[in-house]
């Protein structure tokens, strides 16, 4: 009697029969699925990234289309759709979050970072130790690489988790979608000035914007193009969604084993250091991102249990016994 993985609970228990939706119900579900797919694919094309215009259509579009064409992946299709729509909503609406009339805040994050840095903002300390404006370094390139990885790593890890463990995939995708929406709300409520901008206004000692200094100097056209596509709101610093998604990547990989867990933790730490070193975020922004991501990670199983019966909390894939 073979064992088969049934992540979508498509196999009925022995002695029971799954009710048929009927021709009308099947057509209705098919129509809704088609509309959701078209909406998700349309929204995937709206946001852009600093790396390639093909990144999001590939990382979101391919899983969406694959899941939409298979009856046994309806849960995955709904989750990929939720992920894609929430991400696109975040990217598009965050451009408006600095134009609501809310005052731009700066002092509270500086005060928090000075406490953390024992009297000095950590960005100032890191740049004093390692940054030299006239001389590009390997550390500059590495930290910029971590920063840019935000645009491809989270959905790529979603694909990996989808292949490796269905329950972890479901929790990760829903948590990351919830994090984007929660982060967007905070951006509207607490428009917060990042370190490099605070320095230009005299709130701190001078802080270099490493991403601008290095990328704009070497590839000005690339930087201008990427900033026009992925920028749009310089005061969306709290919380750091770069850090929030990196933290969720670490949580997801940790469920796949010790080695991948260490790799995920290293990625999160590298992302956090990079964001502070390059002047893009305060440590306070990172903590805000981690808190929101952690809360969404904790809430995701409860929501999944309501929507999908039989969800398991990140354990080994559920295997269902099938009659030979």
Query: Is the pLDDT at 144 greater than 70, yes or no?
Result: yes
Beta bridge partners of 4: 320
Q: Report residue 10's pLDDT band, with 50, 70 and 90 as the boundaries.
A: very low
Distance CA 198, CA 60 (A): 35
The half-sphere exposure of 58 on its side-chain side, counting CA atoms within 13 A, is 10
Distance CA 72, CA 8 (A): 6
Query: Is the pLDDT at 8 greater than 50, yes or no?
Result: no
- Write out the E strands in the chain: 3-5, 319-321
Q: What are the DSSP calls for 70-137, one per residue?
A: -GGGHHHHHHHHHHHHHHHHHHHHGGGTTSSSPPPB-HHHHHHHHHHTTTS-HHHHHHHHH--TTS--
Give me the chain's average pLDDT, please.
82
Distance CA 8, CA 18 (A): 13
Query: Is the pLDDT at 40 greater than 70, yes or no?
Result: no
Token pair, residue 101, equals 């009339």
Query: Is the pLDDT at 146 greater than 90, yes or no?
Result: yes
DSSP label at residue 192: B
Q: What is the pLDDT of residues 159-214, one digit of tens each?
A: 999 999 999 999 999 999 999 999 999 999 999 999 999 999 999 999 999 987 88
Beta bridge partners of 320: 4
Token pair, residue 244, equals 């929030």
The half-sphere exposure of 115 on its side-chain side, counting CA atoms within 13 A, is 6
SS3 content of the chain, % helix, strand, coil (to 5): 65, 5, 30
Q: Which residues, other chains included, contact 144 with Cβ-Cβ below 8 Å and sequence gap of 6+? A: 210, 211, 214, 215, 274, 278
Q: Which of 185, 184, 178 is nearest to 300 (CA)?
A: 178
Per-residue pLDDT at 4: 37
Q: Report residue 91's pLDDT band, with 50, 70 and 90 as the boundaries.
A: confident
104 or 54, which is more confident: 104
The pTM (predicted TM-score) of the whole model is 0.81
Q: Report residue 59's pLDDT band, with 50, 70 and 90 as the boundaries.
A: confident
Q: What is the pLDDT of residues 260-316, one digit of tens each?
A: 999 999 999 999 999 999 999 999 999 999 999 999 999 999 999 988 875 655 444
Distance CA 81, CA 165 (A): 19
Domain ranges (residues) in the chain:
3-8+101-321
Distance CA 67, CA 173 (A): 14
């Amino acid at each position: 009697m073979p064992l088969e993985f049934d992540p979508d609970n498509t196999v009925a228990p022995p002695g029971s029969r799954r009710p048929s939706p009927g021709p009308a119900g099947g057509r209705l579900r098919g129509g809704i699925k088609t509309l959701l797919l078209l909406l998700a694919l349309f929204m995937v094309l709206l946001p852009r990234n600093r790396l390639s215009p093909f990144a999001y259509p590939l990382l979101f579009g391919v899983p969406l289309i694959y899941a939409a064409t298979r009856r046994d992946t309806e849960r995955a299709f709904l989750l990929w759709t939720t992920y894609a729509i929430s991400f696109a909503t975040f990217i598009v609406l965050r451009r408006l979050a600095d134009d609501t009339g809310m005052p731009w805040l700066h002092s509270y994050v500086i005060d928090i970072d000075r406490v953390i840095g024992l009297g000095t903002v950590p960005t100032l300390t890191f740049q004093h130790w390692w940054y030299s404006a006239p001389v590009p370094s390997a550390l500059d390139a590495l930290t910029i690489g971590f920063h840019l990885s935000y645009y491809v790593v989270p959905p790529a890890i979603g694909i990996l988790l989808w292949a490796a463990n269905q329950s972890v995939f479901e929790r990760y995708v829903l948590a990351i979608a919830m994090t984007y929406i929660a982060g967007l709300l905070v951006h509207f409520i607490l428009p917060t000035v990042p370190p490099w901008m605070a320095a230009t206004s005299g709130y701190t000692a001078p802080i270099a914007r490493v991403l601008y200094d290095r990328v704009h100097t070497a590839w000005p056209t690339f930087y201008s193009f990427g900033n026009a596509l992925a920028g749009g709101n310089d005061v969306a610093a709290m919380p750091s969604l770069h850090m929030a998604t990196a933290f969720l990547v670490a949580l997801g990989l940790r469920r796949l084993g010790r080695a991948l867990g260490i790799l995920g933790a290293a990625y999160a730490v590298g992302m956090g250091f990079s964001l502070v070193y390059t002047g893009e975020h305060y440590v306070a922004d990172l903590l805000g991102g981690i808190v929101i991501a952690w809360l969404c990670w904790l809430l995701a199983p409860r929501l999944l249990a309501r929507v999908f019966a039989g969800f398991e909390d990140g354990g080994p894939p559920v295997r269902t016994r099938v009659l030979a």
